[in-house]
Structure formats: C-alpha cells, structure tokens
Amino acid sequence: MPGAAAAARSILTQLHEVMAARSNAQAKLNRVVDIIGESLDSEVCSIYLLREGMLELYATRGLEQGAVHVTRLGIGEGLTGTIAANTETLNLDEAATHPEFQYRPETGEEKFHSFAGVPIVRRERAIGVLTVQHVEPRRYEDVELEALQTVAMVLAELIHNAGLVDGEDLGQRSGAQSGQQVLQGLGLVKGLGVGKAVFHQPRVTIEQTVAEDTEAERQRVYLAFDKMREQIDTMTGQAEFGMGGEHEEVIETYKMFAYDEGWSRRINEAIDSGLTAEAAIERVQQRTRQRMREISDPLLADRMHDLEDLSNRLLRIVSGQLGTAASMGLQGDTVLIAKNLGPAELLEYDKRRLKGVVLEEGSLTAHVVIVARAMGVPVIGRLRNLRGLVREGDEVMVDGDSATVTLRPAQGVLDAFETRVGRKKQQLAEYAKLRDVEPFTRDGERIEVMINAGLRDDVAMLAMTGADGIGLYRTEFQFLVSAQLPQRERQTRLYRDVLEAAGDKRVIFRTVDIGGDKSLPYLSSETSKGDENPAMGWRALRLALEREGLLKVQARALLEGAAGRELNVMFPMVSEPWEFDAAKEVFKGQLDFLRKQRKKLPSAIRYGVMLEVPSLAETLDLLLPRVSFISIGTNDLTQFLFAADRANPALAERYDWLSPAILRFLKRVLVNCAGSPVDIGVCGEMGGRRLEALALIGLGIRRLSITPAAVGPIKELVRKIDTREIALAMNGWLASPPPSMRATLQEWAAERGIDVE
C-alpha cells in the first residue's frame, strides 16, 4: 500500500476529472466508487447519501446493483447509520461482530467480512457514508482510512454541488446533533430569548477541496502560518497578556500550537494528497478531533478548544473570511454562540436582533455579562463543548431564568416558550402603562424608583420606564468597554451627555469601581496586585485613592460634565469615614482649580457613599454629618456579611437576602440614620425583586435603584402596599424571626393579594 498522501492524491486526481466531466451526478458517483475500489484494491466500495432523513445506497461497486436506491437505513441504524450518527469512522475485521450490525439480504453482502466506513461530512453534519468491504477478515490500515477520509471530504463537495442530498436545513443532523437537546449552564443574565445560532467567530465554509496547483496551496498555507504566528506574537506582546496568570498560560499554549512543527507538517502532507489549503487545515483538524474524542481527559479537552480556535484562525486567514459575525450583521433574531466575548465585542451587535448569548466560559462578574445585563440580553455560561453541540443556524432557546439552553427545540416546546415570551411582553406592556404613574403606596408614601445604569444608551430607559432618575451610574462601564484608559475629554462628554439626556431627573454617578475581579487590561499589572480575594482586595476607592491621577481626572470630568447642573457623586467600597474625606478632598482640589480657571461649575454638589462594607455601618455616627446620601449596595454587602463570594456559583443560592442577618443589619442602619437628613436608599439587585422590595419597604427604605426591567413590576407592587401594615409585620418578624422569612413574607403577601413573583 502506498503512503496515505500518494494514495489519496491518485484518487483525488481521478476524482477531479470526474467532477469536471459533463456526466450526470449518478454517473459520477458510479465512477467514484470504481475509482476508490480500484485504488484501494477493495472488493466493495459504496456510497450512501442522506435522502429524506434516510441513508440511501446511491452507488456501489461489489454489492448487488439491484440494491441501489432500494437499501435505506435510518440514522443510527446498522453500521452505516452508526457512522453517520456519530460522525466517526468504523474499522472492523468482522462486521457481524459489531452490536449495531444489520444484514440486508438484497445487497448480497454476506460474503464480505471486513468493513470500514467514514462519514461524508459537510458543515460538520454527516450527509452520507463511504464504505469499503472485503471478503477476507482484515482490519484496514491507517493509511487506507486516511485516504478514505480525505476522499470523503472531496465527495462532500461533489455531492453538495450536485444537490444530491437533503437541503441544508432539513433534519439530516446526526447523532448528538440531532433533535432537541437541553443543556444546563450557569445563569448569568436572566430573561428569555429565542433565535438562530450564530457563531461569534463563524466557521469558514470550504468551497473547494481539490487543489489545482499543489505548490500554490503550499505557499498559501506558509503565508497564513506566518501571519497567524505574527498575530499570536503581537498578542503576547500586548499588556493584556503580559501580566502572568491565566492569560499568560492561555497565550503560551496558543504559541506552542502555533509553532508546532507537527501540526504544520500534517497540513503539508494533506496538501500533498491533493487538497486545497483550506481543506488540508480542516482535514487535519478533523483527524485531531477524532483522536481527542478517544481520550477523555478534561485538560486535553481544554487544549483541544485552543487548537480548534487556532485552526479556525488559520482557516480564516487563508480563506480571507476574517470578520466576526458582528461585522457581517445579524440577519434575524439571533442567539450568539462564543467561547467567550469581550464587552466591546458584544456591543458591536445589533441589540434589537440579539436575543441571547451562550458562552462556553463566562462568570457572573465577567465584563461581558455586566454589559449584557445592561443591554437586557439573557446570558448563560459555562457550557463546555457548546460549539461541538450546536450548529450555525440551529434554533436555540435561552432561558436565563432557569439557566437552560434548548438546542433545536421541538415545536411544542418552542410554542410553550413563545407563549411565555408573549406573556412576558404582555406583562411589559402592562407595566409600560405605569410609566407616568407616580409610585405611591396605598397609604400615600412616595417611593422613589430609580434605575441602575452604566452605558450611554441606558439613559433612554429613564423615559421608557418613567423612573425617577439614575440612582447608580456605574462609571466603570466606560472603562470596561474601552481598549485604553478613557481620556478626560471622553469622560466629560459622557457625563455631560448623560445629564443632558436625564433632563431634570437626578443622576448619581459612582466613581469607578474597578480592580479585583473587574480588572482592566490596561491597568492589569496594578489592579491585580496579586489579590487572592479580589472582591476584598485593592479595588474601587481603595485603588482610586492610591492612583490619585485616575480619581483626579474623573473628578475633573464629572465637575466639568455637570457644569451648571447639580452633581451627585458617590464613592464605592468606603470602609472607614476618612476614605470618604480623602475622596472628597480630591474633588475639592479639582473644584478649586476650575474655580481659579473661572470655569463654569456645577450648581450644587452632593457627596454620598455606597454602604457595602459592613464596617461602615459601625461608624455611621461619624459618617452621617459628612454625607448627603447613602446608597446601600446589597450585592457586596451580602457577600461581606456572609463571607460568601458573590461570583461563586456554588454559593449563589446558599444565603438568602431575606435572612434575619441581612434584614436586621439593614434595620439597624436605618434606625441609626433616623433623624438625620441623610437620604438613604438601596441600589443592589435585591431591590429589583418584588418580594425583597416589599421587605425593604417594610424596613423603611423609600428609595430603590434597580435594573430598568424591574421598574414596572416594582411600581405595580408599590401601589399595593400599605407601609404601616408591612412595617408592623416586619418589626414582629425581626424581633422573633420565623423559620423562613421568605415563606412568611410570601404568605403575608398572598393573603393580601399582592403578587410578589
């Protein structure tokens, strides 16, 4: 047997001629089985193609001709069906010993003992199967299988061009890729969405598999390798990757693969066999995928992802198909599929068409997740091997509420989902009616309902929801979505635009809360500072006070942006009152400077703090005389009170916001603030949930800053509450907590017809 490359090349040269000939498709396939059979010295060679969901014997050399277009097998049925179902190769010296073996008398195959078959794959779906059989029982050699696989790749092109198989969208998916599949991930952003799967980095479509000029193809691959290595080296040189830790590990692995001689040699060999550069890269990747499938080692699986990425990168370079899906524009309702995404990359997508994001990685505090939440797009993460399970164009249902992703949902499931989406929309329309209704409780208490924001576009939500203002403007978003530290002018412009758009509604700007888990690539060497517990590390004001330049710039930008208007500024992660003083001093310095410059100043400045570090609650008597307002950040407060990392999914459900510990703590803060003119509110996620909001109002909170989507539901809730009644009940529960505060509150609300779900 000659080498695999030579065997394949001899077949490919002949196939090339067949493909170029003017005969009809059936005649071509008849010729193809002869060529393969002769070249591999095989008594039988058959091609099965997918028609109406069944694998139909389309051409054969060696089996009964009467079986052609008669023998049909379902996906998963018999050896041929198994190959298609699993898109994998079978190599058996005794076919009948395989558990899936099925005998079809019309083929006359009983005399053939050995059997090998490879899937014919297009766009990662089996569209047919190529088999060879021998009378004598023998296993096929690796070189023979290699040649078969290469030929199958070329056949895929021929078959597709001849329109011989079911249309791309028919149910011809194989095995793991067929039918409905429900995946459980980590819920990162709540919400419902359904759309067609679009890969952030689309897979390259290979249009031509057989090379016209092997040397030219070799040159193309050389050039592509050079370019890819250059890209990887540039990445290594960038600050983002130069900081050690996880990034560095990833990039080192990339580098190792990019310079791997074995990889480039295998691609070259595939080119020797007569394939184009694109087909050769894909062929090698197919082979690697298959090898990896046989080794079930999670570490290797991770490396496989890296290699897939790199292989795809190489393919995109060589084919010139470079853009991400964003650059090509979304065609309809879309669920975006990616390993991971940067926040800026997400922002490039058309928000109206983006119905969900599903990631292989991702965590609650990932920047992209923060941005997606602001965009109102549901996100589910931590779905390993996602890109192996879903196909471009698959229908995908994203349920951020239950953290499930349903691939290719059955019609009934889809209908039920659409009903839920419809109900949600209807509910939203109901809430929209409350837009201009002021949220007064039944007993006439006005509850201030504000929104949390961070992106320029968020301001539009003020008008849409009828919220009272922006109770938390997370200024770090601008930093997170920028490739470098935003210049002062850019900051000023943003703050001015936000205030302008907000009109006479109040906006509370929080100075940057970066560092720790929200580290910035361009500040990474400083912000990581080797923190083992980033949430409790060098972040937010702690960082800003040390990096005074950063805070000074932001102070100037805020003061200038608010010229002629009231400026509300709030500092995050204040743990002791002196930190507030120090931050305010920075603002004062900038204010003096502007005054000297005779610049227009804000009409008033109100300074406030986030109360999210428990220690601050112990010094309220010292703090209150200094500040105008306090905003309780229950997200961080909860993690610090319970010593439970808010980003750790294993702890996500463990502690309840409605626990006596939290509620008593909040009550004590409110009692300690009583009588002071300081305005106190809550801006954590807790306030956006109805049951929790009911509890907060019961404690005495009168200002909530919440995610925009929650404004309607909370306004509706407010109008059903009698604050005296809930306060009385709450006092009783705080004094003597029931076994489950949540259940008790739910019961209490239900008795009064208050919907808290």
User: 10 Å Cβ neighbour count for 555?
Assistant: 26
One of 636, 645, 692, 716 touching ligand PEP (CB under 6 A): 636
What DSSP state is assigned to residue 139?
P
Token pair belonging to 20: 């170029």
Q: Which stretch binds ligand PEP (CB under 6 A): 162-170, 204-212, 421-429, 629-637?
A: 629-637
Token pair belonging to 61: 């050399």
Number of residue whose CB is nearest Mg ion: 636
Q: Which of Mg ion, ligand PEP, none binds 684 (CB below 5-8 Å, type-dependent)? A: ligand PEP
635 interacts with ligand PEP by CB under 6 A: yes
Query: Residue 314: in which H helix or E strand, if any?
Result: helix 298-319
Give min distance, CB of 634 to ligand PEP, in A. 5
Distance CA 618, CA 626 (A): 15
513 interacts with ligand PEP by CB under 6 A: yes
Give min distance, CB of 262 to ligand PEP, in A. 47
**CB nearer Mg ion, residue 88 or residue 476:** 476
Q: Which of ligand PEP, Mg ion, none binds 683 (CB below 5-8 Å, type-dependent)? A: ligand PEP
Give min distance, CB of 673 to Mg ion, in A. 19
**CB nearer ligand PEP, residue 199 or residue 640:** 640
What DSSP state is assigned to residue 324?
-
321 interacts with ligand PEP by CB under 6 A: no
608 interacts with Mg ion by CB under 5 A: no
Amino acid at 265: R
What DSSP state is assigned to residue 652?
T
**CB nearer Mg ion, residue 356 or residue 633:** 633
Name the residue among 5, 484, 668, 569 with its Cα closest to residue 271. Answer: 5
Give min distance, CB of 553 to ligand PEP, in A. 20
Distance CA 74, CA 52 (A): 10
Q: What angle do CA 372, 373, 377 make, to 5 degrees?
A: 60
117 interacts with ligand PEP by CB under 6 A: no
Please check whether residue 339 is in contact with residue 318, taking contact to mean a CB–CB distance below 8 angstroms: no
* Contact set for Mg ion, span 206-265 (CB under 5 A): none
* Contact set for ligand PEP, span 452-471 (CB under 6 A): none
Question: According to DSSP H, which parts of 361-410 are helical?
Answer: 367-375, 386-389
Distance CA 532, CA 530 (A): 6
* Contact set for ligand PEP, span 561-620 (CB under 6 A): 612
**CB nearer ligand PEP, residue 274 or residue 687:** 687
Please check whether residue 409 is in contact with residue 397, taking contact to mean a CB–CB distance below 8 angstroms: yes
Q: Which stretch binds ligand PEP (CB under 6 A): 377-385, 620-628, 632-640, 738-746?
A: 632-640
SS3 38: helix
Q: How far is CA 235 from the centre of its chain?
A: 22
User: 10 Å Cβ neighbour count for 113?
Assistant: 18
684 interacts with ligand PEP by CB under 6 A: yes
515 interacts with ligand PEP by CB under 6 A: no
Q: How far is CA 497 from the centre of its chain?
A: 30
**CB nearer ligand PEP, residue 61 or residue 539:** 539
Distance CA 586, CA 572 (A): 15
Q: Which stretch binds ligand PEP (CB under 6 A): 223-231, 288-296, 524-532, 631-639?
A: 631-639
474 interacts with ligand PEP by CB under 6 A: yes
Please check whether residue 446 is in contact with residue 439, taking contact to mean a CB–CB distance below 8 angstroms: yes
**CB nearer ligand PEP, residue 80 or residue 639:** 639
User: 10 Å Cβ neighbour count for 157?
Assistant: 20
Give min distance, CB of 298 to ligand PEP, in A. 32
Q: Which stretch binds ligand PEP (CB under 6 A): 103-111, 422-430, 633-641, 647-655?
A: 633-641
Q: Which of ligand PEP, Mg ion, none binds 195 (CB below 5-8 Å, type-dependent)? A: none
**CB nearer ligand PEP, residue 68 or residue 472:** 472
Distance CA 110, CA 720 (A): 78
Q: Which stretch binds ligand PEP (CB under 6 A): 204-212, 384-392, 589-597, 628-636?
A: 628-636
Distance CA 123, CA 156 (A): 10
Sign of CA pseudo-dihedral 258, 259, 265, 266: negative
Q: Which stretch binds Mg ion (CB under 5 A): 320-328, 527-535, 609-617, 697-705?
A: 609-617
Residue 442: CB partners within 8 Å, gap ≥ 6? Answer: 719, 720, 721, 722
Distance CA 373, CA 340 (A): 16
633 interacts with Mg ion by CB under 5 A: yes
Give min distance, CB of 374 to Mg ion, in A. 15
363 interacts with ligand PEP by CB under 6 A: no
Binding-site string for ligand PEP from residue 411 to residue 440, where x marks contact by CB under 6 A and - marks none? ------------------------------
Angle between helices 214-237 and 298-319 (to 10 degrees): 120
> Strand 354-359 vs strand 334-338: parallel, antiparallel, or unpaired?
parallel
Distance CA 187, CA 189 (A): 6
Size of the site for Mg ion (CB under 5 A): 3
**CB nearer ligand PEP, residue 157 or residue 612:** 612
Give min distance, CB of 557 to ligand PEP, in A. 19
476 interacts with Mg ion by CB under 5 A: no
Give min distance, CB of 536 to Mg ion, in A. 12
Please check whether residue 90 is in contact with residue 83, taking contact to mean a CB–CB distance below 8 angstroms: yes
Q: Which of Mg ion, ligand PEP, none binds 148 (CB below 5-8 Å, type-dependent)? A: none
**CB nearer Mg ion, residue 39 or residue 554:** 554
Helix count and strand count (H, E) for the chain: 28, 22
**CB nearer ligand PEP, residue 405 or residue 611:** 611
Distance CA 437, CA 289 (A): 59
SS3 526: helix
Give min distance, CB of 370 to ligand PEP, in A. 8
Distance CA 449, CA 719 (A): 12
636 interacts with Mg ion by CB under 5 A: yes
Number of residue whose CB is nearest ligand PEP: 633
> How far is the CA of 345 from the CAs of 185, 349, 419, in angstroms?
22, 8, 31
Q: Which of Mg ion, ligand PEP, none binds 474 (CB below 5-8 Å, type-dependent)? A: ligand PEP
One of 330, 369, 683, 695 touching ligand PEP (CB under 6 A): 683
Q: Which of Mg ion, ligand PEP, none binds 177 (CB below 5-8 Å, type-dependent)? A: none
Distance CA 377, CA 371 (A): 9
One of 193, 381, 633, 708 touching ligand PEP (CB under 6 A): 633
**CB nearer ligand PEP, residue 86 or residue 635:** 635
Residue 450: CB partners within 8 Å, gap ≥ 6? Answer: 467, 468, 469, 470, 471, 472, 506, 508, 681, 683, 703, 704, 705, 706
Give min distance, CB of 510 to Mg ion, in A. 9
Distance CA 557, CA 549 (A): 12
**CB nearer ligand PEP, residue 312 or residue 511:** 511
**CB nearer Mg ion, residue 46 or residue 639:** 639
Give min distance, CB of 583 to ligand PEP, in A. 16
Binding-site string for ligand PEP from residue 715 to residue 754, where x marks contact by CB under 6 A and - marks none? ----------------------------------------
Question: According to DSSP H, which parts of 141-243 are helical?
Answer: 142-161, 214-237
Residues that bind Mg ion (CB under 5 A): 612, 633, 636
Residues that bind ligand PEP (CB under 6 A): 472, 474, 513, 612, 633-636, 683-684
